[in-house]
Structure 1
């Protein structure tokens, strides 16, 4: 399964990526020296769709590469897709299970899903369903390991997200079974 073509992030200009990769160490250097890097940040923000704090420029290297930091800054802001189909939302979730997404793509599609299903906390549902439901026994054995067969399908995840936020998508199956009661919002 892959991201439907119409939902794929559009490629960014390689020259823009190269320029931002050039700016990044200069911004870091000026900030580390106690400067505000204002002129460099203005150049950065001419291209970036995501505004980082100055702390992010000083600490990104602890959790990501330079390239993913730049590409994440260039990710478009997700908007609600009024034409979104149930099968398309499921396809996006399925891709998380493959591990094929880069870090910046993962960031974009998690934000995209949260935008499609506001207040659903769908990222926790995907990665930490025991936390989302507030009941580890639904998914884990007494030793804490995930029980085989307890994994939710992408269809069920979309169903729970729709139920939580009140959005219904075209193409949703009438007979979708959600195996656990919807937890109260916390």
Structure 2
């Protein structure tokens, strides 16, 4: 399943709205919030826009929101497909929107909400505190599939 293609005009428009909402006034900017949610197909509360700029650029926030919304489960995702995805994620530099797409796809397909830990903090994922291990795309794919298999009813 390919990464969702985002409408760049919409991304730009929503980023401008998000920037105005960030640090804005909830009452005075209610119509902007409504416009954002209508255009994005979301129901994001005003409070979520507060402090975006301290964590990420508004345009990156919008790309993440739209990518989240457009990503679906991929029931036919194979080990080889996972390896390909993880190889691209581990390549430097890697597009943040692609990383978000991969994390969403794996979460929706395999129910693995800790996939970012597996990539960035493997000790948290495995529960052993060893964040120094170097994982290959193959090992990451196997870890996802193994965890998924353990959660399936027998």
SS class of match (1:162): helix
- Residues 1:100 and 1:38: Cα distance change in structure 2 (over 3 Å): same
What's the offset of the Cα at 1:61? Answer: 0.4
For the pair 1:74 / 2:66, whether they are aligned, the reply is yes
Contact 1:47 1:74 in 2 (8 A): no
Taking the aligned partners of 1:28 and 1:123, their CA distance within structure 2 comes to 26
Contact 1:51 1:73 in 2 (8 A): no
Contact 2:79 2:141 in 1 (8 A): yes
What's the offset of the Cα at 1:17? Answer: 2.0
Q: Which residue of 1 aligns with 2:105?
A: 112
- Residues 1:97 and 1:51: Cα distance change in structure 2 (over 3 Å): farther
Q: Which residue of 1 aligns with 2:4?
A: 9
Contact 1:27 1:57 in 2 (8 A): yes
Contact 1:125 1:132 in 2 (8 A): yes
Taking the aligned partners of 2:41 and 2:146, their CA distance within structure 1 comes to 31
Q: Which residue of 1 aligns with 2:77?
A: 84
Flag structure 1 segments of 5+ consecutive residues without an equivalent: 1-5, 141-145, 168-186
What's the offset of the Cα at 1:44? Answer: 0.8
Taking the aligned partners of 1:84 and 1:50, their CA distance within structure 2 comes to 27
The TM-score, its normalising length taken from structure 1, stands at 0.67
For the pair 1:22 / 2:16, whether they are aligned, the reply is yes
The TM-score, its normalising length taken from structure 2, stands at 0.79
- Residues 1:26 and 1:120: Cα distance change in structure 2 (over 3 Å): closer
- Higher CA-based Rg: 1
Q: Which residue of 2 aligns with 1:152?
A: 135
Displacement over 6 Å in runs of 4+: none
Q: 1:144-183, CA deviations, whole angstroms, 9 ceiling, x for partnerless residues?
A: xx3xxx422222221121121128xxxxxxxxxxxxxxxx
- State the number of aligned residues: 149
What value does the CA root-mean-square deviation take over the aligned residues? Answer: 2.5
SS class of match (1:99): coil
For the pair 1:63 / 2:50, whether they are aligned, the reply is no
Q: 1:4-44, CA deviations, whole angstroms, 9 ceiling, x for partnerless residues?
A: xx42221x223212321332233335xx3352633212211
What's the offset of the Cα at 1:90? Answer: 1.0
Flag structure 2 segments of 5+ consecutive residues without an equivalent: none
Higher helix share: 2
